[in-house]
Amino acid sequence: MKTVVVAGGAGFIGSHLCEFLLKKGEKVICIDDLSTGDKKNIEPLMNNGNFVFMQQDITEPFSLRDDVAQVFNLASPASPIDYQKKPIKTLMVGAMGTKNCLDLAKNKNASFLQASTSEIYGDPLEHPQVESYWGNVNPIGVRSCYDEAKRFGEALVMAYRRKFNLDTKIARIFNTYGPRMRYDDGRVVPNLIFQALNKKPLTVYGNGEQTRSFCYVSDMVEGLTALMNSSTNEPVNLGNPNEMTIAEFANKVIELTGIDSKIENKPLPEDDPLKRKPNISKAKELLGWEPKIVLDVGLQKTIDWFASIKK
Ligand code: UDP
């Protein structure tokens, strides 16, 4: 049995990762300050003797007594609404938070995985996005607090790797969805499902021609663990290359909920990337990983979950 630390373990992807690791028989220490995560996400894990929850802001120094084999750093506000509400905190989480987690891995001689993001490509001029692309980020725009925090995070990880020979991994996570997304985090998946279930119009920003590619959370968790357990230290894109326009996505929500809501167009937010689709050749080749859950199946599970917690 290994001890694995998951920073951000009470969040959406983090809580699924904790559950997956426990099922594999690992001991899990979940660190979260519950600022955007939710204790409800980990409530079912609390009775498991191999699960420890530590309420801790990772921008503050912390230490652990246990031996640790792996550190996953998923702690950060991650939805555009959340990070734009807390821009300074988001920058500090990417900087000091990542440093504190890297120091933990260094002190414990543990492997370290940084949850990075497709946002480091900004509004991409290359499509689909390959890991070798350096991106097109507005460094002073409203999304820069997140994009630059995550770019700084990658730079810090590489500095620890070069300076201390730490075993580091960088996962560039593309849009991920599934149960336990916060209904009010402002992202397109919870917004549109929640609106449909409440028989409200679906808000499509701009003309809806911008694209995203949505990956179901169980596929993402498998990708993250495959990367952590691999020997690669290069950044790897993790996501589902099934690209669609937001208008198509809205129609899919209408079809699967069976609720004939209208579409209401709203202004496109500043610096909203027009296109996003991962090239996942590297993940396929190096990790033998690719997503398995098609959108209709994953979205139906997500809709059913939102219906079960309906507010
Ligand atoms: N979006 C939308 N309606 C909403 C929320 C988001 O049309 O109610 C759009 C948003 O403008 C973006 C895409 O959906 O083009 C994905 O947005 P999200 O906030 O989920 O995450 P992002 O991929 O931009 O980080």
Q: How far apart are CA 173 and CA 102, in angstroms?
A: 19
High-pLDDT (> 90) share of the chain, %: 99
pTM: 0.98
- Predicted local confidence at residue 3, as pLDDT: 98
pLDDT per position as a tens digit, 231-252: 999 999 999 999 999 999 999 9
Residue 119 is part of which domain span? 3-177+216-241+278-292
Nearest atom in ligand 1 to 175's CA: 23
Q: Does residue 50 belong to any structural domain of this protein?
A: yes
Local structure of 148: helix, strand or coil: helix
Q: How far apart are CA 234 and CA 254, in angstroms?
A: 40
How far, in Å, from the CA of 80 to the mean position of ligand 1?
8
Q: Does residue 262 belong to any structural domain of this protein?
A: no
Q: Which residues contact 85 (CB under 8 A, 6 or more apart)?
A: 77
Q: Does residue 127 belong to any structural domain of this protein?
A: yes
Q: Does residue 69 belong to any structural domain of this protein?
A: yes
High-pLDDT (> 70) share of the chain, %: 99
Rg (CA), the chain: 19
Q: Work out how many domains the chain is built from and give that number.
A: 1
For ligand 1, atom 6, the nearest C-alpha belongs to 188
Q: Does residue 87 belong to any structural domain of this protein?
A: yes
Q: Which of 83, 146, 177, 216 is catalytic?
A: 146
pLDDT per position as a tens digit, 20-65: 999 999 999 999 999 999 999 999 999 999 999 999 999 999 999 9
Identify whether 146 is a catalytic site residue. yes
For ligand 1, atom 4, the nearest C-alpha belongs to 188
Q: Does residue 68 belong to any structural domain of this protein?
A: yes
Mutate to test the pocket of ligand 1, among 174, 188, 198, 274 (most ligand atoms within 8 A of CB): 188
Looking at per-residue pLDDT, the higher value among 310 and 147 belongs to 147
Ligand 1 pocket check for 204: Cβ under 6 Å = yes
How far, in Å, from the CA of 38 to the mean position of ligand 1?
22
| Buried/exposed 196-219: b ≥16 CB within 10 Å, e otherwise | bbeeeebebeeebebbbbbbbbbb
Mean pLDDT, all residues of the chain:
97
How far, in Å, from the CA of 116 to the mean position of ligand 1?
18
**How far are the Cα atoms of 11, 46, 84, 111 from residue 65, in angstroms, in the given order?**
24, 20, 35, 17
pLDDT per position as a tens digit, 70-107: 999 999 999 999 999 999 999 999 999 999 999 999 99
Torsion of CA 297, 303, 308, 311, to 10 degrees: 170
pLDDT at 279 over 90: yes
Mutate to test the pocket of ligand 1, among 203, 246, 252 (most ligand atoms within 8 A of CB): 246
Q: Which residues contact 91 (CB under 8 A, 6 or more apart)?
A: 145, 148, 149, 152
Q: Does residue 57 belong to any structural domain of this protein?
A: yes
- Predicted local confidence at residue 311, as pLDDT: 62
Ligand 1 pocket check for 251: Cβ under 6 Å = no
- The CATH number of the domain holding residue 149 is 3.40.50.720
Q: Does residue 99 belong to any structural domain of this protein?
A: yes
